[in-house]
């Protein structure tokens, strides 16, 4: 099989400018990536742009005798096709990137063997399904398919990312030989300064960095990343950040953590595979504190879901343009505090804002989404009734609900949620799995404030279930109960100490209970008043 390796590189990266020229193992990053990719004999060409910003890159490549091609900066697909001039359609083309130095010739040969054996048009090793760290990536297709894509698609997304049109037409087969490694929550790309320092350290002292086996590098990466505390990514944990901005939770005595600790908590969570962070305009300084924690490139590694202001200061009789101004103020304040130009996802903090002001709030958000200021739209609801209302809006793609081991109210709604998922993309996150900490405390005065007349019965039942199912740990009982629900995509967990984070990460990796086990747990569950399940109705401390 005839093969051509094309390694994509440029110097105008925004988060770490000129990163491909940084030294790793005594040579520029892009040179090391090219040498490692070609160390079993396949020809490698670095495809870059003809812009003046890449003049120095080409000088470096020429100095190190690395073949390169200069083409369109913005149209990457055309750049690839132009670089293949004179190459027949049957050639297997391997797409690589200059900021990923782990892929070596042996790994690429494994993929090429699989590509030929399966007789597919595309084979990719990208993302979590591979079992490999983020940064061990490669894509293989035929030169003829790239030319076909060049002629058929005008989509900016297709042309920037090179292969989406091919995947859409021929299918996206995946290379999954390393799934058992479960290292998808590790990271070995170079996108930020932290990334660079980690990767550079792995190659320190090597006489022949281009020949270091990828397996050796993977083991070294494990040893280096001491903050990774889980054997599988904690991708169903949603980090709640209300505690970062205000005193939150009925059992909270610690107060708000300092910025340095928040930085550590957020970044450690991300390193362990946490993919979503939950915040809100109404959470005091949470957005501001979170924005600082996500600086220096960390925001690119996670998805922040924030919530619109409660709009308490918007007049009930406000005209549409006034409502729009209030909505835009909230959205752009969130952008400013989080340090981003657009919001990944935004939820209504109040479900009645779906229809309030004659639908003015939702209309204004839809316009901002259309402009690209907001990615996804969702609703944070308080009750099953509000959830059903939210589901009647087709543009709602995220639903956050309160749910815990005592909450019987959702039993009649789950089937509706599952049915909706058959027709659209719908993400379900649950909060209050510990009922704002109430389920973790034996203080009867706090249960009294939560309007629970049978607190003694509830506490005895919680202890009994914890003893029977998880070694007496009530917190694990409650978290594991939520995580075992197959209709739940993520559980929002707030915390304010490193110990809590590490504990939560550990629980995330525990095997879920079966449906029969869940039914057995709740068969004698004590009934509590609806007011107990709704913290908004609880008695205030000074009442």
Structure-token match 């739940």, residue found: 488
- Output the pLDDT for position 12: 86
Question: What sign does the CA torsion over 170, 105, 92, 67 have?
Answer: positive
Return phi, psi of residue 143, to 5°.
-55, -40
Per residue in 4-29, pLDDT (tens digit) is 999 999 998 878 889 999 999 999 99
pLDDT beneath 50, residues of the chain:
251, 543
The predicted pLDDT at position 543 comes to: 47
Q: Which two tokens stand for residue 278?
A: 């939950």
Per the rule left: phi > 0, alpha: psi between -120 and 50, beta: everything else, 66 is beta
| Run of H or E including 117 | helix 105-118
pLDDT value of position 211: 96
| Separation of alpha carbons 285 and 213, rounded Å | 47
Q: Give the span between the Cα atoms of 494 and 106, in whole angstroms.
A: 44
Domain 237-537 - what CATH class? Answer: alpha beta
User: Which token pair is 153?
Assistant: 């698609």
The helix or strand, by DSSP H or E, that contains position 289, with its residue range, turns out to be: helix 286-293
Q: Mapping DSSP to helix (H, G, I), strand (E, B) and coil, where does residue 139 land? A: strand
Residue 336 main-chain phi, psi, to 5 deg: -65, -45
Q: What pLDDT was estimated at residue 32?
A: 98
- Please state, as a whole number, how many other Cβ atoms lie within 10 Å of the Cβ of residue 357: 23
Percentages of the chain per state (helix, strand, coil), in multiples of 5? 45, 15, 40
Q: What pLDDT is recorded for position 248?
A: 64
Closest to 295 measured CA to CA, from 225, 194, 186, 200: 194
Question: What's residue 70's pLDDT?
Answer: 97
Q: How confident is the model at residue 542, as a pLDDT?
A: 61
Looking at the domain that runs over 3-224, which CATH code has it been given? 3.90.550.10
User: For 98, how many CA atoms within 13 A lie in the half-sphere containing its CB?
Assistant: 29
The 10s digit of each residue's pLDDT in 221-262 is 999 999 999 988 999 999 999 999 987 655 455 578 999 999
CB 378 within 8 A of CB 400: yes
CA dihedral 223, 228, 230, 235 (to 10 degrees): -140
CB 229 within 8 A of CB 51: no
Domain ranges of the chain: 3-224, 237-537
**Do 360 and 320 meet the contact criterion of CB atoms below 8 Å apart?**
yes
Measured torsion, CA atoms of residues 176, 43, 191, 333, in degrees rounded to the nearest 10: -90
Quote the pTM value.
Answer: 0.87
């Amino acid at each position: 099989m005839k093969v051509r390796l094309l390694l994509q590189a440029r110097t105008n990266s925004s988060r770490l400018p000129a990163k491909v020229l940084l030294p790793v193992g005594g040579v520029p990053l892009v040179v090391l990536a090219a040498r490692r990719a070609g160390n079993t004999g396949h020809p490698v060409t670095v495809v870059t742009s003809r812009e003046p910003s890449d003049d120095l890159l080409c000088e470096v490549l020429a100095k190190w005798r690395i073949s390169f091609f200069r083409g369109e900066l913005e149209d990457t697909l055309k750049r690839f096709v132009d670089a293949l001039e004179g190459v027949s359609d049957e050639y297997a083309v391997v797409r690589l990137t200059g900021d990923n130095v782990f892929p070596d010739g042996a790994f690429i040969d494994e993929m090429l063997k699989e590509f030929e054996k399966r007789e597919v048009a595309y084979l990719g090793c990208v993302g979590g399904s591979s079992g490999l760290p983020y940064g061990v990536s490669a894509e293989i297709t035929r030169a003829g398919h790239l030319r076909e894509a060049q002629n058929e698609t005008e989509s900016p997304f297709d042309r920037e990312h090179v292969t989406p049109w091919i995947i859409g037409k021929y299918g996206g087969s995946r290379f999954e030989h390393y799934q058992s490694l479960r290292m998808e929550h590790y990271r070995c790309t170079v996108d930020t300064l932290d990334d660079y320092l980690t990767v550079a350290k792995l190659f320190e002292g090597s006489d022949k960095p281009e020949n270091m086996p990828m397996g050796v590098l993977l083991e070294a990466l494990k040893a280096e990343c001491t903050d990774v505390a889980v054997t599988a990514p904690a991708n169903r944990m949603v980090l709640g950040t209300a505690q970062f901005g205000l005193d939150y939770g009925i059992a909270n005595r610690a107060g708000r953590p300092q910025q340095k600790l928040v930085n550590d908590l957020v970044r450690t969570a991300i390193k362990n595979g946490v993919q979503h962070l939950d915040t809100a305009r109404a959470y005091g300084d949470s957005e501001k504190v979170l924005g600082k924690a996500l600086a220096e490139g960390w925001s690119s590694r996670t998805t922040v879901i924030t919530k619109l202001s409660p709009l308490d200061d918007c007049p009930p009789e406000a005209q549409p343009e006034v409502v729009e101004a209030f909505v835009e103020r909230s959205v752009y304040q969130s952008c400013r505090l989080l340090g981003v130009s657009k919001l990944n996802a935004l939820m209504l903090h109040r479900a009645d804002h779906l229809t309030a002001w004659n639908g003015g709030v939702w209309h204004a958000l839809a316009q901002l989404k259309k402009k690209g200021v907001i990615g996804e739209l969702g609703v944070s609801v308080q009750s099953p009734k509000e959830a059903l209302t939210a589901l009647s809006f087709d543009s709602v793609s995220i639903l956050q609900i309160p749910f815990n081991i005592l909450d019987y109210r959702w039993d009649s709604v789950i089937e509706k949620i599952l049915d909706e998922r058959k027709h659209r993309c719908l993400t379900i996150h649950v909060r209050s799995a510990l009922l704002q900490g109430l389920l973790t405390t034996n203080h009867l005065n706090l249960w009294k404030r939560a309007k629970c007349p049978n607190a003694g019965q509830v506490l005895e039942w919680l202890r009994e279930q914890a003893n029977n199912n998880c070694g007496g740990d009530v917190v694990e009982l409650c978290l594991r109960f939520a995580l075992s629900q197959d209709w739940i995509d993520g559980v929002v967990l707030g915390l304010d100490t490193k110990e809590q984070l590490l504990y939560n990460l550990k629980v995330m990796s525990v095997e879920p209970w079966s449906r029969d086990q869940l039914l057995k747990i709740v068969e004698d569950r004590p009934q509590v008043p609806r007011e107990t399940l709704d913290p908004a109705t609880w008695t205030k401390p000074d009442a």
